Every structure is written in C-alpha cells, then in structure tokens.
C-alpha cells in the first residue's frame, strides 16, 4: 500500500479514528494496531506476513533467552543464535540469488558445474528495515541498555506500519516507551504533521516523479542514446530524485506517526549541504548511519585500534552498508566510493594533526568549493547506485566525457526541478519553522483551505499513478 494513494487515504482514515477510540484501552489498541499493520503489509503480498511474524517471534524469543540476569555463556549463545537466524532470513530472501549467481560464474570459469540451483526468490518489501530493527532490539537487550518488552509491545513495535517498509529505523528505546505510554490527542502537533505529509507528497509525487520520467529513467535506461550534457543533468537529476523520493517517504511516515501520537527520529538534514562525506552521512538516512555506527563500526573497533584499523573498519562498514541496499556489485561499488572518500578525509585530517598544522580556515569560498566537490563525489557514487549493471555505469561515465552533442532532454523545467531540489536544502531551518508556526496560528477553516489548495496543486502537477518509493526494494 503506497502512501500517496486513495487506498492508503481510506486505510489511514479508518486507522486514525479507531486508534484514538482505542487509546484508553492499551491492550485493545495494541491488538488493533498489530492487525492494521499486518493488513498494511499484506497489501503487497499476504504471504510475507508470515515472514514478519517469524522475525518477530525469533527476536522476542532471543531477547527473553538473553535476559539481563542470565548466565554470560547463555546470553551470548542466545544473541548469536538470534542474529544468525535473523540474518539468515534476510540473506535467503535478499542475497541468495546474488550469491548463487556469482558462485556459478566462478565455477563456470573453472570448468565446474554450478552446485547451487538458481532459484527465483521474491524480495519481501521492507525486510531490511524490520530486520535491522529486530537486531537492534536484541543487541540492546544483550548490552543491558533495554529490558525485554512484552510480546504484545514488541509485536506492535516491529510491525508499526508508518515505519514498516522503508524506515526510519526506529530503535526499541525510542518507540517502546511511547507504545506503553497513554497518548493525548490534544497534544498532537498537527501543524508539523501536515507540513511533513504535504511536503513529502510534493517531493515524491511532483519532484521525484517528474525527474524520473523527464530525464533520469530515459538516460539511465539507454545511455548510448544520450549526449554528455544529458547524462550530466540526469546524474544530478537522480541525486535530487532519490533525495526527494526517500526523504519524501520518511516525511510522510513521520507525519503519519505524529497524527497517531508518536514521535519518530528525523532521517534527513539537508544532506547536499555537507562539506565532507562524514558530514554527508550525518545528514543522509541518519537512522541507518547511526545503526551502522553503533552496531557495526564500533563493535569492529571503531577508531580505537590505530590508523589502519580505523581505515579497515570504515571500509567494512561502508561496503556492508552498500550491500545492505541491494544484492549487486554496483551497490558494493557505491559503498566502496563512500568508504574510500571517508578514509581519505580521515587521512588528510590526521596528517595535518601529525604535522602540527592549524585547522583549515573556514572561509565562505572554501565552504562553497567543499560543497561542490562533495556533491559531485556523492553524484559519482549515485551513478553506480542507480545503474542496473557495471556495464551501464561505465557507459554513462565514458559518454559523460565523450558524447558531446545536442541535449533535447535538458529542458528549463528539468533544470528548475533540480535547482529547487538542491536549493531548498539551503533554506535555513528557522525560516521553515516560522512558516509552520504561522500555519499553526490560523483558524481551522484557514488551515483546511490552505491544505486543500496545496493538495489540489500536488495532484494537478503530479502524474497519473504513483511509482513505488525507491527504498521499498531495499
């Protein structure tokens, strides 16, 4: 069930009303919310609700077996067993085909038959997201940072539909206390929810959809038919498309959760204003960045084992982060580019410190130059992320510098959409907050009129039908 559809509007209207009616009765509310979330998930394919239930049961049984008061050996065994099963489910559905194909290719090159059948395994929507949430819950219980929740609370936490299929990755310590707490409809931040939902709809329905059909899909699907200028604009267009698409989804998810009385962590903070790749990952998909830092990078040793160990840990984290996004070598290359960029930045800073040099001056033109360089490095990585194969990515990069000629696909409207997508990230947060406060001060009739006009504009500018969000397939 896609957010920007009539189906979801009807679904949410019913859920919103019944959710607040059941709020005085916590047990009924949780049972209702689990049912509603499973209906939401089953809208794509009802078979996969059993996978969600299995992941819930495995994680909860693991957390109960770990229990903070258990013996160290039992706790560790329960942790590893739970992690193995959860990652096994993820690996089977997401990586079996990738693994089997690459093993077959290697063995074929050696003249040996393939030992693994090449099965067609359907990728369940959102499996990476709810698997990571289940793992964070179990690991936090093991670290004694979280008490095991009740079965009902944990099932509500893992299946809660606003975050279920594409995040944000909300941790147990962030959401479980809110599930246990009684919510007050009078304290709902309606103005922020409306701003987030309508802003997310504009990003997805108008900005992302337009750029996808006008420039990105035609160029990436047939790079040999387009000129260097068209390829360059398509790469920049994809940078805006994926930002508008994914941040648009999380804006809607956060807004929907707010209307139900829940607060999710922010997931984006103007990522294309970053001046380093490290800063970019503090702003892009922030809940995944923190997950990789806390549950992968730091357990690997972080920056505690010397310079080369730090570089190794950065590379492992970023490459696995790339592979999390998809079972393809293009995603591995995407993660590698980000890893190499972060290692290079770390090396430059450590060299300056070792030589006793002062930090580089923070001048305006230096900031502009750093942002331009960083944006283009991120866009280089996006080429591999978007391409369906290495061959396509290399063709795009080759023709980027060799295929000079006319660029009919580059229209003023395409350039305007890219400029809006990037330029909006430089609008100060204070300006946005003032607009939202001004909206909140309007009378209900004024708010309703303004919302109706905005929604009409979005539906008018948007295409017929809405493509699935890009991150649904991760």
Judgement on whether residues 126 and 248 belong to the same structural domain of the protein: no
Does residue 2 belong to any structural domain of this protein? no
Gap between the Cα atoms of 153 and 81, Å rounded:
22
For the chain, the residue count is 474
Among 156, 187, 218, identify where a domain stops: 187
Judgement on whether residues 179 and 44 belong to the same structural domain of the protein: yes
Gap between the Cα atoms of 79 and 148, Å rounded:
13
Does residue 108 belong to any structural domain of this protein? yes
Among 158, 187, 216, identify where a domain stops: 187
Judgement on whether residues 403 and 348 belong to the same structural domain of the protein: yes
Judgement on whether residues 387 and 376 belong to the same structural domain of the protein: yes
Q: Using alpha carbons, list the distances in angstroms from residue 377 to 40, 214, 273, 338.
A: 38, 24, 13, 9
Does residue 466 belong to any structural domain of this protein? no
285 is catalytic: no
Gap between the Cα atoms of 47 and 404, Å rounded:
50
Gap between the Cα atoms of 200 and 248, Å rounded:
4
Range of the domain at 71: 15-187
**Res 47 pLDDT > 80:** yes
pLDDT in tens, 338-361: 999 999 988 888 887 777 776 667
Judgement on whether residues 346 and 391 belong to the same structural domain of the protein: yes
Judgement on whether residues 182 and 216 belong to the same structural domain of the protein: no
Domain count, the chain: 2
Does residue 444 belong to any structural domain of this protein? yes
Judgement on whether residues 100 and 215 belong to the same structural domain of the protein: no
> Within 10 Å of residue 268's Cβ, how many Cβ atoms?
18
Return the pLDDT at 95.
Answer: 81
Return the pLDDT at 429.
Answer: 82
Among 187, 208, 242, identify where a domain stops: 187
**Which residues are CB-contacts of 31 (< 8 A; sequence separation ≥ 6)?**
152
pLDDT in tens, 246-291: 999 999 999 999 999 999 999 999 999 999 999 999 999 999 999 9
Ordered DSSP codes for 384-412: HHH-SSHHHHHHHHHHHHH--S--TT--H
Does residue 41 belong to any structural domain of this protein? yes
Judgement on whether residues 106 and 225 belong to the same structural domain of the protein: no
From the number of C-beta atoms within 10 Å of its C-beta (0-12, 13-18, 19+), residue 378 rates as buried
Q: What angle do CA 206, 196, 377 make, to 5 degrees?
A: 65
Does residue 404 belong to any structural domain of this protein? yes
Gap between the Cα atoms of 442 and 378, Å rounded:
41
Judgement on whether residues 356 and 439 belong to the same structural domain of the protein: yes
Judgement on whether residues 233 and 162 belong to the same structural domain of the protein: no
pLDDT in tens, 185-227: 888 888 889 989 999 999 998 999 999 999 999 999 999 999 9
Does residue 474 belong to any structural domain of this protein? no
Q: Are 466 and 204 in contact, with CB atoms under 8 Å apart? A: yes
pLDDT in tens, 286-340: 999 999 999 999 999 988 888 899 999 999 999 999 999 888 899 999 999 999 9
| E strand map for 301-446 | none
Catalytic residue from among 226, 325, 338, 346: 325
Q: What is the mean pLDDT of residues 43-62?
A: 92
Q: Are 200 and 251 in contact, with CB atoms under 8 Å apart? A: yes
Judgement on whether residues 142 and 239 belong to the same structural domain of the protein: no
SS3 (DSSP) at 121: coil
Does residue 9 belong to any structural domain of this protein? no
Judgement on whether residues 277 and 376 belong to the same structural domain of the protein: yes
Output the pTM of the full model. 0.91
């Amino acid at each position: 069930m896609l957010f920007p559809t009539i189906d979801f509007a009807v679904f949410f209207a019913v859920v919103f009303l019944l959710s607040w009616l059941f709020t005085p009765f916590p047990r009924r509310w949780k049972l209702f919310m689990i049912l509603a979330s499973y209906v939401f998930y089953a809208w794509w394919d009802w078979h996969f609700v059993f996978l969600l239930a299995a992941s819930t049961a495995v994680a909860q049984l693991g957390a109960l077996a770990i229990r903070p008061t258990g013996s160290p050996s039992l706790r560790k065994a329960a942790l590893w067993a739970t992690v193995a099963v959860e990652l096994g489910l993820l690996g089977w559905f997401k990586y079996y085909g990738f693994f089997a194909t690459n093993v077959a290719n290697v063995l074929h090159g050696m003249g040996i038959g393939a030992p693994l059948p090449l099965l067609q395994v359907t990728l369940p929507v959102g499996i990476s997201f709810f698997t990571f949430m289940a793992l964070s819950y179990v690991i936090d219980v093991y670290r004694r940072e979280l008490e095991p929740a009740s079965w009902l609370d944990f099932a509500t936490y893992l299946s809660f539909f606003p975050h279920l299929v594409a995040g944000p990755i909300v941790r147990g310590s962030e959401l479980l206390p809110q599930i246990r707490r009684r919510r007050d409809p009078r304290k709902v931040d309606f103005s922020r929810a409306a701003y987030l939902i309508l802003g997310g709809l504009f990003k997805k329905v108008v900005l992302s959809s337009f750029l996808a059909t006008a420039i990105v899909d035609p160029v990436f699907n047939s790079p040999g038919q387009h000129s260097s200028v068209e390829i360059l604009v398509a790469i920049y267009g994809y940078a805006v498309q994926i930002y508008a698409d994914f941040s648009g989804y999380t804006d809607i998810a956060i807004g929907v959760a707010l209307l139900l009385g829940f607060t999710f962590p922010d997931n984006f903070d103007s990522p294309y204003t970053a001046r380093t790749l490290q800063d970019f990952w503090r702003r892009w998909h922030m809940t995944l960045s923190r997950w990789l830092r806390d549950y992968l990078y730091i357990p690997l040793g972080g920056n505690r084992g010397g310079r080369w160990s730090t570089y190794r840990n950065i590379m492992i984290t970023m490459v696995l982060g790339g592979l999390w996004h998809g079972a393809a070598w293009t995603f591995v290359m995407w993660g590698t580019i980000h890893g190499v960029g972060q290692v290079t930045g770390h090396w430059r800073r450590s060299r300056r410190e070792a030589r006793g040099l002062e930090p580089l001056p923070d001048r305006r033109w230096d900031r502009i130059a750093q942002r331009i360089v960083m944006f283009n490095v991120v866009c280089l990585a996006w080429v591999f992320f978007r391409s369906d194969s290495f061959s396509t990515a290399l063709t795009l990069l080759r023709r980027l510098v060799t295929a000079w000629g006319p660029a009919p696909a580059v229209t003023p409207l395409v350039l305007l959409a890219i400029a809006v997508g990037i330029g909006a990230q430089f609008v100060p947060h204070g300006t946005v907050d003032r607009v939202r406060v001004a909206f909140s001060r309007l009378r209900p009739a004024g708010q309703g009129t303004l919302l109706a006009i905005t929604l009409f504009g979005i539906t008018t500018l948007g295409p017929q039908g809405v493509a699935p969000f890009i991150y649904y397939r991760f």
